[in-house]
Structure 1
Amino acid sequence: MAAVYNSKFGDTVEGARAAHFQQLVLEELRVSASYRKAYKAKVLSTTRLRGFDDASYTKLHEYLYLLKASNPDSIADLETETDEDGNVRFKYLFLSFSASIIGFRRLRHVIVVDGTHLSGKFRGCLLTAARQDANFQVFPLAYAVVDSENEASWTWFFRKIEIFLLDGKYLTIISDRYLSIYAAKKQIYPNAHHGACIVHLARNVVEKFKSKGLGKLVTDSRMKWCVGKFHQLYETIRTTNPQCGQYLEKIGLAHWSNAYFQGQRYNLMTSNACEQLNKALKKGRSSPIVELL
């Protein structure tokens, strides 16, 4: 069945799901196969094409060596840990190409950070840092493969970025309001400005206070540069829902509003740069780690 799957679907990521393949085998070959067999056939087909996920980790040292040899001045760091049985296991991986590092020096110093789940055998998370160039196109800066989005992994990621992007008031970091990012940023980039993604903030307001109207008011007030115009809308929010006003004030007006933001965000109001990058990498997120890289 794996051979049949290979012949029918060249791309195992975009190919049919097990249930669809099960129906296809019945219609074309007149063979009744269980869902489990159809699923195992897809897994076997994927393994033949890409190799085993476990084996991919053993190739990381060689791959990163060759990557840095062909891309001088790139930063690629692999961190491992030893378990109770003395086995060396993968922990974190960081990658930033020299072209991205050099190119970023010509851009405004605003970076967007975000994380997305990996869907391969060992799961994990892919952390990304990006921004927009002068043509409003996504400019990737750095990647990391970690166990999950926690304070330790985000701190490690920021520490690697700090090698070529130093802390300072000239720098702005934009993210969603994930607590681990806040804790890591405070440790590694205490002087950099930090802005909240307005899309995530508006969604949180809608979810917390069950009002799409409040979410729109938050978005509209966020975009006002003039303090007077901002307060007109902000007072409407406080009048409409005093609890929402207290919630936004507790977050800090300087953290989410243009009128009070102390740094420079330029046109970056959301974390869409990383969201688009993660979407572009969707097919690779289920791949063995070397293929993902």
Structure 2
Amino acid sequence: MVKADLTISIRVLQGGVENHFGYKVSYRKVWLAKQRVIARIYGDWEESYNELLRWLFAMQMCLPGTWVQLVTQPWPGSTDTIMFHRVFWTFLLCVEVFKHCKPLISIDGTHLYGKYGGTLLMVIAQEGNANILPIAFAVVEGETKEAWSFFLSYLREHVTPQPGLLVISDRHKSIDGALNAKGSLWKPPHAFQDFCTRHIAANFVTHFKNKDLKKVRINAAYSKSKREFAHYFGRLRGENMAITNWLEEMQRSQWAQYADEGRRFGHMTTNISECINAMMKGSRNFPITGLVRSTYFRLGELFSRKGSEALAQLQLRDIHLCHTKVV
């Protein structure tokens, strides 16, 4: 069952065991069994960390321009043994393609499902034809300020050095702290930060317990003119001054479309990140090297397919131009 669908839930596996054997097994036992099955199919969990360094080196040899930063730390109580801490990686093709994308990125973190956990950080871009793709990755211990600073510093240096870039994210304190740290190149005028409307709406409901006013706040966020925004914002103020005071804790340009000076290109949420998160769901069950390998092969297939499509378009254009000259 796991081989057929790596994302299969533990509850479904429990039901499968009970239906087949007539025995109700605990959640923990099934979870442990799934990790053993994954290790049997995709490689041992512990050995995968030893294999990671070899695989990162192989990627750099096979695809020149691949940039990697692997961080280790001493094993507790040992002076001669090290263990994995964090890793950042990106590919030259991702760096090159971003030069032709919209000057905005969506960043997000998502949990890994494997034996040792961790968090996968990704940055997503979109080009003019609305195609999206991840352009950099990191596996870290969790969504801490230090982990995001590690990711964002290398992202800025090696992938997205362009000035005036817009970053769309949720309001996670660790992201905000990393972007606005002293000396950061992610602050204006080098870069700008906007928030995901969907996450703000979820926070709004948590604070004010009012789903009807949540819709008014969303309408205010999506307003394209100052006049339209003033109408919805005025309704919120009339209902409860605490709501508008809460909203004014953020810069208006960070959540209201009319005030963003066109930087969002209509992107009000981190949906492009959620799309890639869903696509990577199966890979998030892999041991660490399997996860890194999956990004290499998935992006390799994507660029190969898009390259063939572009070549076909060029050939059609040449045929058309040739036919026009003959006529």
Q: TM-score, normalised by structure 1?
A: 0.89
2:156 equivalent in structure 1: 162
Distance 2:129 2:162 in 1: 26
Name the amino acid aligned to 2:165.
L
Measured against aligned partners, the alpha-carbon deviations of 1:208-256 in whole angstroms (never above 9, x if no partner) come to 1111122111111111221122111111111112111110011221221
Distance 2:239 2:31 in 1: 53
SS at 1:145's partner residue? strand
Q: How does 1:97-108 map to 2 (within 5 A)?
A: 97-108=91-102
2:88 to 87, 91, 94: 94
SS at 1:65's partner residue? helix
What are structure 2's unaligned runs of at least 5 residues?
293-327
Tell me the CA shift for residue 47 of structure 1.
2.3
**Aligned CA-pair RMSD:** 2.1
Tell me the CA shift for residue 33 of structure 1.
7.7
1:85 to 61, 78, 81: 78
1:255 equivalent in structure 2: 254
Tell me the CA shift for residue 166 of structure 1.
2.2
Q: How does 1:106-145 map to 2 (within 5 A)?
A: 106-145=100-139
1:190 equivalent in structure 2: 187
Tell me the CA shift for residue 42 of structure 1.
4.0
Q: TM-score, normalised by structure 2?
A: 0.80
Equivalences, count? 282
Q: Relative to structure 1, is the Cα distance of residues 39 and 167 closer, same or farther in structure 2, using a 3 angstrom cutoff?
A: closer
SS at 1:139's partner residue? strand
Distance 1:43 1:277 in 2: 24
1:148 to 130, 139, 142: 142
Distance 1:15 1:39 in 2: 9
1:46 equivalent in structure 2: 38
Q: How does 1:183-262 map to 2 (within 5 A)?
A: 183-187=177-181, 188=184, 189-191=186-188, 192-262=191-261
2:19 equivalent in structure 1: 24
Cα pair 1:205 1:214 within 8 Å, conserved? no
Cα pair 2:35 2:115 within 8 Å, conserved? no
Q: Relative to structure 1, is the Cα distance of residues 12 and 127 closer, same or farther in structure 2, using a 3 angstrom cutoff?
A: closer
Q: Relative to structure 1, is the Cα distance of residues 12 and 223 closer, same or farther in structure 2, using a 3 angstrom cutoff?
A: closer
1:265 equivalent in structure 2: 264
Distance 2:276 2:109 in 1: 11
Name the amino acid aligned to 1:122.
Y
SS at 2:124's partner residue? strand
Cα pair 1:124 1:147 within 8 Å, conserved? yes
Tell me the CA shift for residue 261 of structure 1.
2.2
Measured against aligned partners, the alpha-carbon deviations of 1:65-116 in whole angstroms (never above 9, x if no partner) come to 1111122112122111113312211111111111111000011210110111
SS at 1:166's partner residue? coil
Cα pair 2:223 2:229 within 8 Å, conserved? yes
Tell me the CA shift for residue 24 of structure 1.
3.5
Name the amino acid aligned to 2:49.
Y
Distance 2:33 2:202 in 1: 41
1:69 equivalent in structure 2: 61
Cα pair 2:109 2:120 within 8 Å, conserved? yes
Distance 1:236 1:254 in 2: 19
Cα pair 1:12 1:42 within 8 Å, conserved? no
SS at 1:72's partner residue? coil
SS at 1:174's partner residue? strand
Cα pair 2:7 2:281 within 8 Å, conserved? no
